[in-house]
Amino acid sequence: MAKKTKFIFVTGGVASSLGKGIISASLAKLLQARGFKVGIQKFDPYINIDPGTLNPYEHGECFVTEDGAETDLDLGHYERFLNEPTSQANNVTTGRIYQTVINKERKGDYLGSTVQIIPHITDEIKYRVRLLGKKNNFDFVITEIGGTVGDIESLPFIEAVRQMKWELGSDSIVIHLTLVPYLAAAGELKTKPTQHSVKMLLEHGVQPDIIVCRTEHHLNQHIRDKIARFCNVQPSSVIESIDAESIYDVPVLMRQEKLDTEVLNITKTPIENELNIDEWEKFLKRLKNPKATIEVALVGKYVELQDAYKSILEAMVHAGAENQVKVKVQTIHSESINASNADELLKNVNGILVAPGFGDRGIQGKIEAVRYARENKIPFLGICLGMQCAVIEFGRNVLDYKGADSTEFNSKTDYPVIDIMENQKKISGMGGTMRLGSYPCEIKPNSHAAETYQDKNINERHRHRFEFNDKYLKKYEEAGMIATGTNPKDNLVEIMELKDHPWFMGVQFHPEYKSTVANPHPVFVSFIKAAYHK
Ligand code: GLN
């Protein structure tokens, strides 16, 4: 029998960047730890069809799912916390909603009626919320509404929430995340911004059931009572979300604040199982009690942005905890590295990671970082563009291929060691211009890759257009750079390693997308282990 799914909406007020994604993922984790089946979904109010076309300066990293959807980075948090894959259905933008409705209109699906925001756009939103629950037989669907209440853009989403609350009663609740600022001059926490943002929600007909307050100082009972009184909620429904040392502390903090039991009470869900987050706590213990600290250089062109390499940074946290070492990431701007300062910048690091990316800005610096790692036998991990840079560097400096390059940067190079392969050209012709999502890879025995994965057949996620040009494979392998992972169907090279090096791996795919707290990614775990033992 199909289950009755309950729907939890998470909205935000007062300011952006309060951490709705982490609160949603933490609540999901707690419900999952009580044996419930939980799905999380993010609605983004912008008009882009997906974040794939967005510059990382806009919304940080683009997270890629198994089915090849280019999505918001919050889906990365959902996967890292829940250890369950997400898909296209977990991230919906205003652009996609409108595109669907307009396509239906063009096909005549609305039988001559006037197509309007209410009911057509709101129905499409509600359909997508319900569908996620129904398809997966979830007990709970948590839907995070991007943006801040009061934004013109998010109005249709808030209206859809109002309707669902009305239709479903206690099977649908709203958690509103706000900020309770501390005014140092007055020595006080201030509740007025929270009151105002709840009033704004009420103007749109939505009464929040639970208010989660981001704060730098503990909320005392007086503050909780005040917020409860002004915002029509029970004092027990005012939840403190204090600044945490690590995002991985938040589920534990939310358990202390009883966010999960509050949700279960309000949705009238019987509590059947005790909460069990033992594994999570073991992870936290390893994370917080490192035996040593190591330094890894992350070479990329968006290093001033915290969110641009989110999944890579989190994968290093997971791998650090697994090895019980603290990984200090030193971000180095690829444009700042050259042959004369590489030694000064990189001589003290235990490992070097060259980041993924698009376009030729900073490429020369990335190639210098690869050269430094190769020559000085420093553990090296190159991801996607980082792997391509490793191939270019080896071509130029070991094989003496003058001007070896990727055709992404120089279409006229004499040595197109990275190129668009014939079978990939066909894909571009059909409109989907990248190799996206999960593809199989076969691992060669007696390699770092084999030791890393302990498996012959693996699957990893991709997001790229260019590939290693296998015309050059023989020459590379003769000179000591070998393909230790290939796609079993079309032989595309997925992993390149140096024979004569303690740990040097370039991967065409993105291992960072699959690293979770419960399953730290083997490539990162091995890389950090090699860096630790350097
Ligand atoms: N720009 C390269 C390509 O398209 C690498 C992409 C990436 O690093 N994700 O193949």
The predicted-structure confidence for 70-98, as pLDDT tens digits, reads as follows 999 999 999 999 999 999 999 999 999 99
Q: What is the pLDDT of residue 56?
A: 76
Residues of the chain above pLDDT 90, percent: 90
pLDDT of 429 above 70: no
The tens digit of pLDDT for each residue in 7-53 reads: 999 999 988 889 999 999 999 999 999 999 999 999 999 998 888 87
Least confidently predicted of 48-57, 186-195, 316-325: 48-57
* Average confidence (pLDDT) over 212-223: 96
List Cβ<8 Å contacts ≥24 apart for 399-403. 399/475, 399/476, 399/479
Phi/psi of residue 109, nearest 5 degrees? -65, -20
pTM, 2 dp: 0.94
Instruction: Pick the atom of ligand 1 nearest to 386's CA.
Output: 8
pLDDT of 1 above 90: no
Q: Tell me whether residue 184 is exposed, middle or buried, using C-beta atoms within 10 angstroms of its C-beta: 0 to 12, 13 to 18, 19 or more.
A: exposed
User: Predicted confidence band at 427 (pLDDT cuts at 50, 70, 90)?
Assistant: low
- Residue with the bigger pLDDT between 2 and 363: it is 363
pLDDT of 57 above 90: no
Q: What is the pLDDT of residue 423?
A: 66
Residue 322 a catalytic site member: no
Q: Max alpha carbon distance in the chain (Å)?
A: 75
Please count the other Cβ atoms lying within 10 Å of the Cβ belonging to residue 76: 27
**167/132 Cα distance (integer angstroms):** 18
CA of residue 390 to ligand 1 center, whole Å: 13
Pocket test for ligand 1, best of 62, 63, 301, 384 (most atoms within 8 A of CB): 384
Which residues lie below 8 Å from residue 67, measured CB to CB, with a gap of 6+?
Answer: 87, 88, 437, 438
Residue 389 a catalytic site member: no
Q: What is the pLDDT of residue 254?
A: 98
* Average confidence (pLDDT) over 435-461: 96
- Residue with the bigger pLDDT between 213 and 56: it is 213
* Average confidence (pLDDT) over 267-280: 94
Instruction: Pick the atom of ligand 1 nearest to 510's CA.
Output: 9
* Average confidence (pLDDT) over 118-142: 96
Phi/psi of residue 256, nearest 5 degrees? -60, -35
Mean pLDDT across the chain: 94
Residue 384 a catalytic site member: yes
Residue 278 tokens, joined: 């033992």
Helices assigned H by DSSP within 267-338: 278-288, 310-323
Residue from 462, 501, 510, 521 carrying the catalytic annotation: 510
Would you call 39 helix, strand, or coil by DSSP?
A: strand
The tens digit of pLDDT for each residue in 334-364 reads: 999 999 999 999 999 999 999 999 999 999 9
Nearest residue (CA) to ligand 1, atom 1: 358
